[in-house]
C-alpha cells in the first residue's frame, strides 16, 4: 500500500489538521468501525472538533498512538484523531453520530445520554430502522435520521478499508428543513457527497428494502458482486423487495428512490412491471460493482471473518415483525431470516441450495 498523507501531532491534540472546519459544534462519533471510522477520520482531517468513541480498546489505542488509516484504491490515508473508550468520555456534545451495529443501539444510547444537553442531536448512521427507538429514548427533537450509502470494512485496529464512495442523506424525522440538518450535512460532506431530504424515513426504509437483496449474498460463499448479476435469482430478489416495500407502505412510509434503487416497479405485478424490476436489479448490480473492490458484504464478513451475529434481525427481522403487526405477509423474508439464524448458529452451510430453496418457496407462493 502507498502512504498518501500522514498527519503530525499528538492523538489528543488539534495540531496538524486542515483548517477547513465548517462548524464550531462539539461532535462525537460513537462507534468508530467501518462507517464511523470513515466519517470520524474525514471530520478530524477537516479540522472539526470530533472525538471517536469505540468499545474495542485495541482500536482506541491504535487510533490514539498512530492515527486512523483509511485504505482506498491501494493508498493509505493516515489521520490523527482523538479516540476514547465510552467510560473515558467526559462532557457533553452538540452532535453525536451513532454508528454502532443495531443490536448495540440501546447500550450505546445508555452511554451517550449523560453526554447530551437539551439541544444536542443524535444522528443515526446505522442500518435498520433505529430512528424511532432513538426518539423514544432521548426525544424526537434530539433525533436525526440518515441513510448511509457507501462501502467500507473494519480491517484491524486503526485500519478501515473503504470501497465504493457513495452518498449520504440526512433529515429531520418530521420532514422539516432546519439549520441543524444543514450543519450535519456539512459535517458528513467531509467524507462523501451528502444531501438533506424531507422524507428521511423513506430513505431509511429504501435501504431496508435494498438490504433484503444484500442479505442474499451471504446465503452462499461466493463473490457478491458477481452474484448480484445472476438473473436466475432476480425473481427471489424482486419478491423480497416487494414484501419490504408493501410493509413500509402499511407503516405509512413512502419508500424513496436513491442511487440505482427505485421501489416503484416492484409493486407492479404485470409482466412489464416484472421486467422493469429486473432492470432495477441489474442497475443495482452495476452500481455496486462500479469502482468497488469489496467483493463480500458486511453480512458475510460478520459471519465468516468477525464470527458474530449479523444485523439481519434488525433489517429482515424488522420487516417481518412490522408485516405481522400490519397484516402484510412476508413469507420470503421470513424464510431468509430463518436461514440466517441457522447459518449463524452453524446448523446450515452457505450454499447455492439456500437460494434454490427461496426460489422454490417463491414458486409455491405464486401457485
Is the domain of 358 the same as that of 289?
yes
Rounded to whole angstroms, the Cα distance separating 361 from 188 reads 42
Return the axis-axis angle of helices 271-289 and 200-216, rounded to nearest 10°.
Answer: 80
CATH code (residue 212): 1.10.1040.10
Those residues with Cβ within 8 angstroms of residue 123's Cβ, 6 or more apart along the chain or in another chain: 95, 96, 97, 98, 144, 145, 146, 170, 184
Q: Are residues 137 and 216 in the same domain?
A: no
Residue where a domain terminates, one of 198, 232, 263:
198
Do residues 99 and 125 touch, judged by C-beta distance below 8 A?
yes
- At 300 the three-state DSSP class reads helix
Query: And the C-alpha cell for 286?
Result: 452495476
Shared-domain flag, residues 193 and 223:
no
Q: If we measure between CA atoms, which residue out of 78, 83, 63 comes closest to residue 8?
A: 78
Q: Which residue positions in the chain have pLDDT lower than 70?
A: 1-22
pLDDT of residue 5: 33
C-alpha grid cell, residue 231: 438473473
**158 and 22, same structural domain?**
yes
Supply the pTM of this predicted model. 0.89
Residues 191 and 214 in one domain: no
Co-location of 133 and 23 in the same domain: yes
Claim to verify: residue 188 and residue 334 sit in the same structural domain = no
Number of domains in the chain: 2
Predicted pLDDT at 330 = 98
Residues 232 and 140 in one domain: no
Picking from 172, 198, 224, the residue at the C-terminal end of a domain is 198
Structural domain harbouring 180: 2-198
Same-domain pairing of 133 and 210: no
> Is 191 in the same domain as 237?
no
- pLDDT per residue over 196-252, tens digit each? 999 999 999 999 999 999 999 999 999 999 999 999 999 999 999 999 999 999 999
pLDDT in tens, 71-119: 998 899 999 999 999 999 999 999 999 999 999 999 999 999 999 999 9
CA–CA distances in Å: residue 23 to residues 41, 67, 82, 315, 323: 16, 22, 18, 33, 41
End position of a domain, from candidates 170, 198, 226: 198
User: Is residue 183 domain-shared with residue 214, that is, in the same domain?
Assistant: no
* 112 and 87, same domain (yes or no): yes
Q: SS3 for 116?
A: strand
Amino acid at each position: 500500500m502507498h502512504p498518501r498523507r500522514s498527519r503530525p501531532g499528538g492523538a489528543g491534540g488539534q495540531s496538524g489538521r486542515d483548517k477547513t472546519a465548517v462548524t464550531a459544534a462539539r461532535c462525537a462519533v460513537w462507534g468508530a468501525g467501518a462507517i464511523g471510522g470513515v466519517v470520524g477520520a474525514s471530520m478530524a482531517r477537516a479540522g472539526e472538533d470530533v472525538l471517536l468513541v469505540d468499545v474495542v480498546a485495541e482500536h482506541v489505542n491504535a487510533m490514539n498512538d498512530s492515527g486512523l488509516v483509511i485504505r482506498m484504491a491501494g493508498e493509505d490515508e493516515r489521520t490523527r484523531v482523538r479516540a476514547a473508550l465510552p467510560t473515558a468520555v467526559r462532557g457533553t456534545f452538540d452532535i453525536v453520530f451513532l454508528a454502532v451495529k443495531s443490536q448495540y443501539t440501546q447500550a450505546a444510547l445508555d452511554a451517550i445520554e449523560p453526554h447530551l444537553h437539551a439541544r444536542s442531536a443524535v444522528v443515526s448512521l446505522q442500518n435498520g430502522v433505529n430512528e424511532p427507538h432513538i426518539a423514544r429514548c432521548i426525544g424526537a427533537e434530539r433525533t436525526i435520521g440518515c441513510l448511509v450509502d457507501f462501502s467500507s470494512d473494519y480491517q484491524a485496529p486503526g485500519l478501515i478499508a473503504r470501497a465504493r464512495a457513495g452518498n449520504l442523506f440526512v433529515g429531520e424525522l418530521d420532514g422539516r428543513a432546519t439549520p441543524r440538518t444543514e450543519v450535519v450535512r456539512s459535517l458528513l460532506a467531509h467524507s462523501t457527497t451528502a444531501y438533506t431530504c424531507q422524507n428521511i424515513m423513506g430513505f431509511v426504509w429504501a435501504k431496508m428494502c435494498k438490504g433484503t437483496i444484500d442479505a442474499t449474498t451471504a446465503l452462499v460463499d461466493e463473490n457478491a458482486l458477481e452474484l448480484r448479476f445472476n438473473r436466475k435469482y432476480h425473481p427471489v430478489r424482486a419478491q423480497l423487495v416487494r414484501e419490504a416495500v408493501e410493509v413500509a407502505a402499511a407503516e405509512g412510509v413512502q419508500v424513496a428512490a436513491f442511487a440505482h434503487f427505485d421501489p416503484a416497479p416492484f409493486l407492479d405485478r404485470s409482466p412489464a412491471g416484472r421486467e422493469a424490476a429486473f432492470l432495477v436489479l441489474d442497475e443495482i448490480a452495476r452500481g455496486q460493482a462500479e469502482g468497488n473492490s469489496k467483493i463480500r458484504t458486511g453480512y458475510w464478513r460478520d459471519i465468516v471473518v468477525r464470527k458474530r451475529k449479523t444485523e439481519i434481525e434488525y433489517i429482515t427481522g424488522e420487516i417481518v415483525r412490522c408485516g405481522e403487526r400490519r397484516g402484510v405477509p412476508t413469507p420470503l423474508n421470513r424464510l431468509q431470516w430463518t436461514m440466517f439464524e441457522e447459518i449463524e448458529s452453524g446448523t446450515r452451510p452457505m450454499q447455492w441450495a439456500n437460494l434454490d430453496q427461496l426460489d422454490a418457496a417463491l414458486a409455491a407462493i405464486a401457485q
